[in-house]
Amino acid sequence: MIVGLLLAAGAGSRFGGDKLLQPLPDGTPIGLAAARNLLQGVDQVVAVVRPGDEELALILCTAGLRVEICHDAAHGMGASLAHGVRSAGDADGWLIALADMPFIQSQTIRSVARLIESGASIAAPFHRAKRGHPVGFSRAFFKPLSRLHADYGAHDLLTAHATDIHSFHCNDSGILADIDSPLDLERVSLHLPLQGGGREGDG
C-alpha cells in the first residue's frame, strides 16, 4: 500500500494566512484541489494539518482523507512530514505532496507511485531539468523520515541519496508550481505561469 502524505500544516505566512482555503478560479480551495489530485494516484491519503485549522481539516476529511493534527507543526515542515510518516507507518511507501501545489496531474502522481511499487527506493518527476513533487519513498526510509524535525523537509535526505532517486521526465509543469503569495493566485486567475519552482526538498 502506497500512502500519499498531504502536508497542509504550514501557517501560510507569506500568503497572509489561510492560504489553503483560498479559492482557485473554479472556486475549489487550493488545499482541496491538491487533495483530490493525490487521491486519484495512491491507495490512501493522510493529510497533516496544524492545530486549530478545523475548517481545513473538515474539508479534507469530507473529501475522503484521513486527517492528522501535528502539534509540532510550528517546528517546520520536517516535523509535519515525520508525523505523517509515523501515522501511516504500516505503508509500503509514501508519496510526499504539498497542499499548496494544486496543479499536479494525477497521471504524474500515479507514475511516482508505480515506481515505488516496482522497487524504487526514491522516485521523483522532473520537468525542464528540475525535480518536482510529489516525491516517493520506499519503506526502507521509514526511520530517517520519521525522525525529521527541521524546516527543510527531506532535503538533506534527498541530497545524501541522490544516486538512489529514480527520476522520470514529464510535461507536467504543475510539479513545480506552488502558490506562495496572493500574487501567485492572481497569476493563476489570469492564466499566467507561476514564477516559483516548488521548494527544493520539501518532500
Class of domain 2-189: alpha beta
Copy the grid coordinates of residue 174. 504543475
Query: In the prediction, which pLDDT does 84 show?
Result: 96
Query: In the prediction, which pLDDT does 10 show?
Result: 86
Query: In the prediction, which pLDDT does 199 show?
Result: 47
Query: In the prediction, which pLDDT does 171 show?
Result: 93
SS3 8: strand
- Residue 133 belongs to what H/E stretch? none
Q: pLDDT-based confidence at 201, cuts 50/70/90?
A: very low
Q: 187: which residues sit within 8 A by CB, 6+ positions away?
A: 193, 194, 195
DSSP string, 64-113: T-EEEE-TTGGG-HHHHHHHHHHHTTT-SEEEEEETT-TT--HHHHHHHH
pTM across the whole model: 0.90
Find, among 102, 100, 104, the residue nearest to 174 by Cα. 104
pLDDT digits (tens, 9 = 90+) for 54-74: 999 999 999 999 999 999 998
Q: How far is CA 151 from CA 9, 76, 91, 128, in A?
A: 12, 4, 24, 26
| Residues 113, 19: Cα–Cα separation, whole Å | 27
Chain centre to alpha carbon of residue 65 = 14
Query: In the prediction, which pLDDT does 149 show?
Result: 84
Residue 142: CA count within 13 A, CB half-sphere: 12
